[in-house]
């Protein structure tokens, strides 16, 4: 998965119409709630084999931080 595909997939994970970029601040997204965090955890696990915990997300500020966890 390349960086553009990652953004497209995150669009679906967060079910948002808002155009995402790597700079998008998670707290600015109305969709960024606890269910979205759990959906992101499932996404990273399934697509990248990366296990994350709720605690990891407390330190993440942008989409780029999620991508970094995925190794992108």
Q: Is residue 29 within 8 Å of 14, Cβ to Cβ?
A: yes
Does 15 interact with another protein (rule: CB under 8 A)?
yes
Which window, 1-9, 10-18, 52-60, 62-70, contacts another protein (CB under 8 A)?
A: 10-18
Closer residue to another protein, CB minimum distance, 9 or 16? 16
Does 16 interact with another protein (rule: CB under 8 A)?
yes
Residue 13 has a CB neighbour count (10 Å cut-off) of: 18
As a whole number of angstroms, the distance between CA 17 and CA 11 comes to 7
Among 7, 9, 29, 31, binds another protein (CB under 8 A): 31
């Amino acid at each position: 998965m390349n960086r553009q595909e990652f953004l497209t997939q995150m669009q679906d994970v967060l079910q948002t119409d808002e155009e995402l970029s790597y700079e998008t601040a998670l707290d600015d997204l109305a969709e960024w709630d606890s269910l979205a965090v759990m959906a992101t955890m499932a996404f990273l696990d399934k697509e990248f084999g990366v296990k994350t915990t709720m605690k990891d997300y407390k330190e993440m500020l942008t989409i780029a931080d999620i991508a970094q966890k995925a190794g992108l």
